[in-house]
Amino acid sequence: MKALLLSVCSLVLLTGCVHVFSERSDLMVDRTIDYEQFKLNPKAYVGKFVKFGGIIASTKNTKEGSRIEVVQFDLGNDDMPYEEHVSGGRFLATSPGYLDALVFKAGRPVAVIGEVKGEKVLPLGEISYTYPVVSIVEIHVWKRSDLYPYPPGYYDSPYFYYGYGPAYPYGWGGPYWYGPHHWR
């Protein structure tokens, strides 16, 4: 009975430690490469494996395969991209197979482990933009609600703040009375 209870408790505790990427893929990643270095000279890292993420800008399927344009944001410890006001730029995540544009739609957070393939110049609006290219080994798309784990609304303490309650302005009381001091 104790063994059953111990195994159930272990299972419950370990489910919180699940990672979105397989251990095999995660071990291939060269963690010394940060996005700023990578963006400056992607050709120097060809053949290396990296892990980057961000928000999907667009998905395009061509004869060569699928191409996801990602606006880069830093990944947290849980491999979830943290939206900030500053992005490192954009990169392309490519796959020889078909990736459904409804699953990988614009605005969804994504994390990618992939092999660096170099760079590609494509139009971005009215300019030519040099995209670093990563060939997808593993990809994880987050639900938009995963970024904000609480429903919208006001989250405040249901209790009075110190000093703003029934005993205001003297606090909550206690063994001593801290009323107004009368200096003689």
Domains, in order of start, for the chain = 21-147 (2.40.50.140)
Helix ranges, 15-109 (H):
23-28, 35-40
Q: What region, left, alpha or beta, does residue 109 occupy, with left being phi > 0 and alpha being psi -120 to 50 degrees? A: beta
> Residues 10-34: pLDDT tens digits?
544 444 455 788 899 889 999 999 9
Pairing state between β 127-141 and 90-95: parallel
What gap in Å lies between CA 95 and CA 170, rounded to an integer?
66
What gap in Å lies between CA 80 and CA 111, rounded to an integer?
7
pTM above 0.75, yes or no: no
What gap in Å lies between CA 89 and CA 69, rounded to an integer?
10
**pLDDT of 154 above 80:** no
